[in-house]
Amino acid sequence: MYFFKTPGFLELLYPQALWHGDREKKKIYLTFDDGPVPGVTDYILEVLSELDVKATFFCVGENIKKNPDIFKRIVQEKHGIGNHTFNHLNGWAVRDEDYLRNIRLCDDMIRQYTGEDQIKLFRPPYGKIRRKIIKRIRYEYKIIMWDVLSYDFSPDITAEKSLYKSSKHTRNGSIIIFHDNNKTFKKLKLIISQYILYFKNKNYEFCNIEDMYMQK
Ligand SMILES: [Zn+2]
């Protein structure tokens, strides 16, 4: 079963999390998880820059540590930054204290390159997080989920199908997930520009998720 569009029951599971933006505004929020990864993230940044759009990157701390220059470029080019734990942990499989410590480690890494006033966004790897953890971090972090999943990581979904389904389910305020890693790269190259251009032609604006909180 594939959920390109997030089913309502999932949203109800974590009501404190953000699943989409304003449904009245023609804005779309591109998100890229798991980077920064050499080659892949660089390619995406190039595309975003050429098409003059903003996105949000949920970064894994150990990848920031390995690729600080790519991370700096994400910051410099005014894309959003989110915490995706230091080691890409499954929130249902590790002890709460270990999970919280791992979020903190990633935060320390991010803060070496951003200002203290940076809005703190968090996305749990695999979308798996215990409700207890949400309670512990919800005043410090905005927890960002999604309403459209591209399935760029799935070997069973072709690039054509991913593009078609992702486009079909995207609407005002949608938050869509892609992944900047080596497994998705081949498919991503076939999808990403086309997806952006399709909605740019329909007068959509692509925004950094942090903007949502700055205007309020
Ligand atoms: Zn991830």
- Chain segment 1-49, per-residue pLDDT in tens: 778 887 777 777 788 899 999 999 999 999 999 999 999 999 999 999 9
- Chain segment 174-213, per-residue pLDDT in tens: 999 999 999 999 999 999 999 999 999 999 999 999 999 9
- Radius of gyration from C-alpha coordinates of the chain: 16
- Chain segment 113-126, per-residue pLDDT in tens: 998 778 999 999 99
pLDDT of residue 215: 61
Ligand 1: distance of its center to the CA of 64 in Å? Answer: 14
pLDDT of residue 22: 95
Report whether 113 contacts 71 (CB < 8 A): yes
Delimit the domains of the chain by residue range. Answer: 8-214
Ligand 1: distance of its center to the CA of 202 in Å? Answer: 30
pTM of this structure: 0.95
Instruction: Please report how many Cα atoms fall inside a 13 Å half-sphere around the Cα of residue 137, on the Cβ side.
Output: 27
Q: Is 98 assigned a catalytic role?
A: no
- pLDDT averaged over the chain? 94
State the architecture of 8-214 in CATH terms. Alpha-Beta Barrel (3.20)
